[in-house]
Structure 1
Amino acid sequence: MSDLDGFLGQARVHDAVFALRPDYRALLIAAEGMTPGPSDTYSIDLLTQAETAARQAHCECKVEQLPHVAAWREAYRAFGAKPQRTRNSIEALLRRAENGLPRTNRLTDIYNAVSVLHQIPVGGEDLSRYSGAPHLKRATGSEPFDTATGGTAVTEHPDPGEVVWCDNAGVTCRRWNWRQARRTQLRDETTSALFILDALAPLTDTALREAADALTGHLHRLSPDLTLASRLLSAPQGD
């Protein structure tokens, strides 16, 4: 078993999250040997394609009416978040795409583009900055969250009952897929990463795999020495 497989083997989604949304699935992809760097022609071209697709989606219906966006809005309401104020990541990206998606670095650009093109929340974290394996749980409210306000580093805490991704050091992403911690953000020099693809019904397992294949395909094109491992987390099936 590789180190990446061992890392993913310790990842978990707590029962309290599955009780909230039994249809939830998380596809985790761990990657090593990536070729990092700032935004480049490849990643910017991919973002441009995503912007075009998002504008087309806007023409067909309101963003909040897209099936997977609507499902995430329901999930946010289920743990007490107001989706009009704290938008799930795919809704936020689709709305930003109208005026142009951010150009951050080649790895972040790629996963944001895949997120928009496949209308699925995708997160990317610097694997070297993890402390232990990822787990998705409902917060107690005491967990530290490393963020910034007005350019100043601050430590916040999630609301009790909020759905959060954590490692042993604290929260890595608040409100399921709303905002990432500064500590594990992808950087220009990142060479190992954890990508998290979040799915709710009506998004199918087939569509989830297609998004994952698109992401890994782009990573392979940019990183000839890439090593990957993946794991699907879903609710236990009854007898």
Structure 2
Amino acid sequence: MNYTVKSEVFEFNPRLHFGILIGKGLNNSESTSSDIDLLRSAENYVRQVIKEEELRSLPIIQDYRNTLQEAGINPNKYPPSTEAMLKRVLKGHSLPTINALVDLCNVVSLENQISLGGHDLRDISEDLSVCLSRGTERFLPFGANEYETVEEGELVFTSGDIVQTRKWIWRQSELGKMTLDTKNVFFQLVGFEDNEGSSLIRALNTLEKFVADRFGGVCQRYIVNQNNASIEF
């Protein structure tokens, strides 16, 4: 299977870096007290290091929002999911516990203020792409039973003609959601540099450790950028 970021995407922001982990053989479970403690600790960390009024001033949030604007997407109407999650936490709310895999992905996202999407590979049968939609794609909203159409020219993450994430990093599909039965996952993280110590690399390191130590799985790891825009896995 291939994963490709089309050239037009880098025209919106040539600094884009996509960190990809292919997690295999995971043993997911209900969240333990330790998992929930990690989630609450990550929320408290966010409240300590970020002020709500300064959220949009964070460099990585600015980069997400600017990229959305360049792609013709209003980030006020369709905020990046990371910003929405951080905003919820900064308002004093706790994230709901879903299962261990989802909760620990949220830990990684919160601690590094980075976009992280996990997609169950059992729902994915065609090549993956970050691209502009052709207008023939369909999207199954989270919790829905009926597909909706996607207009031409929208920045999306797709598997064939099925959209996995709309408005770039705004909202994931019902298809590919991580459940207690999830074994194999395509993790997509989005950053803007991949030097050691960057938020992208820190997040990849932590997530890879969770996959191995908490879930007993193994990983393949890739960086996709303007100079290496496609991988096969």
Same topology, TM > 0.5 = yes
Residue number in structure 2 paired with 1:57: 49
Residue number in structure 1 paired with 2:112: 118
Taking a change above 3 Å as real, the CA distance of residues 78 and 223 of structure 1, as seen in their structure-2 partners, is same
Aligned residues: 224
Q: Does the 8 Å contact 1:57/1:63 carry over to 2?
A: no
Alignment-mate amino acid for residue 51 of structure 1: E
Residue number in structure 1 paired with 2:170: 178
Q: Does the 8 Å contact 2:120/2:178 carry over to 1?
A: yes
1:162 correspondence with 2:157: no
Query: In structure 1, how many angstroms separate the alpha carbons of the residues matched to 2:131 and 2:52?
Result: 35
Q: How does 1:1-239 map to 2 (within 5 A)?
A: 7=1, 10-59=2-51, 62-98=54-90, 99-148=93-142, 152-200=144-192, 203-206=193-196, 207=198, 208-224=200-216, 226-236=217-227
> Cα distance, 1:218 vs. partner?
1.6
Query: In structure 2, how many angstroms separate the alpha carbons of the residues matched to 1:179 and 1:82?
Result: 14
Q: Does the 8 Å contact 1:29/1:194 carry over to 2?
A: yes
> Cα distance, 1:169 vs. partner?
4.5
Query: In structure 2, how many angstroms separate the alpha carbons of the residues matched to 1:40 and 1:130?
Result: 28
SS at match of 1:108: helix
Query: In structure 2, how many angstroms separate the alpha carbons of the residues matched to 1:169 and 1:190?
Result: 23
Residue number in structure 1 paired with 2:231: none
Q: Does the 8 Å contact 2:211/2:219 carry over to 1?
A: no
Alignment-mate amino acid for residue 45 of structure 2: A
SS at match of 1:53: helix
Q: Which runs of 5+ in 2 are unaligned?
A: 229-233
Q: Does the 8 Å contact 2:36/2:103 carry over to 1?
A: yes
TM-score, normalized by length of structure 1? Answer: 0.88
Query: In structure 2, how many angstroms separate the alpha carbons of the residues matched to 1:101 and 1:134?
Result: 29
Cα-to-partner distance string for 1:155-191 (whole Å, 9 max, x where unaligned): 1233332211111241011112111110111111101
> Cα distance, 1:60 vs. partner?
7.8
Q: Does the 8 Å contact 2:4/2:128 carry over to 1?
A: yes
Query: In structure 2, how many angstroms separate the alpha carbons of the residues matched to 1:59 and 1:126?
Result: 34
Q: Which runs of 5+ in 1 are unaligned?
A: 1-6
CA RMSD of aligned residues (A): 1.7
Query: In structure 1, how many angstroms separate the alpha carbons of the residues matched to 2:165 and 2:144?
Result: 18
TM-score, normalized by length of structure 2? Answer: 0.90
Query: In structure 2, how many angstroms separate the alpha carbons of the residues matched to 1:155 and 1:78?
Result: 27
